[in-house]
Copies of this chain bind each other. A is one copy, B any other.
Amino acid sequence: MSLSIGQVAERTGLSVHALRFYEQEGVFVDPVRRGPGGRRVYSQDDVDWLTVCIILRTSGMPLPALRRYADLVREGAGNEEERLALMREHQERVTGQIGRLTQCLDLIGFKVGVYEDLLDEARPAVEPGRPRPSDGGAAPASTPGTSA
C-alpha cells in the first residue's frame, strides 16, 4: 500500500513540510520512493517508522539522535548494542524529565491549594464552628516563594 505525502501527513499528524524536512534530515531508514513526476510514495513501513519517530520526538529525542538511530537501523543487524545504548540513554532522559516534572507539580499543586484556600476562605461567610484550614498554609518555611 502506498500513500502520498498528503495522506501520510493526514494520518501521522505531521505536516507535509515536516515530512520533507525529516527526509532531508535523514530520519527515514530507507530513501522515500518516488512515483511519477518525482512525487514521494510512502509505504506502510514508512508510516510505522514515522509513528516510532513521533513517539521519540514527543518524548524529547532530538533530531540528530533520531537520525543516528535511523542510521543504525539502516546499517542492519550487528549494531544492536549501540541501538540499545541509544534507547537506554533516551529512556533515562525521559524518566529524569518525568521526575523533574513531578517535582515541579508539587509546587504547582501547592500554589493551587493556597489560592483555593484563599478564595473559599474569603467568599462564603465563615461558619463559626467550622475548623478553618489551619493557618500558615500560605508560606511554610520549607516552601519557597509562597508570598505570591
Residues of B within 8 A of A97 (CB): 101
Residues of B within 8 A of A148 (CB): 29, 49, 52, 69, 73
Selecting from A17-25, A53-61, A124-132, the interface stretch reads A53-61
Contact across chains for A112 and B84 when beta carbons are under 8 A apart: yes
Instruction: Choose one: B98, B116, B144; the contact of A98 (CB below 8 Å).
Output: B98
Residues of B within 8 A of A15 (CB): none
Q: How many protomers of this protein does the assembly include?
A: 2
Contact across chains for B105 and A98 when beta carbons are under 8 A apart: yes
Residues of B within 8 A of A69 (CB): 148
Contact across chains for B101 and A87 when beta carbons are under 8 A apart: no
Within A14-55, the residues touching B (CB, 8 Å) are 29, 45, 48-49, 51-52, 55
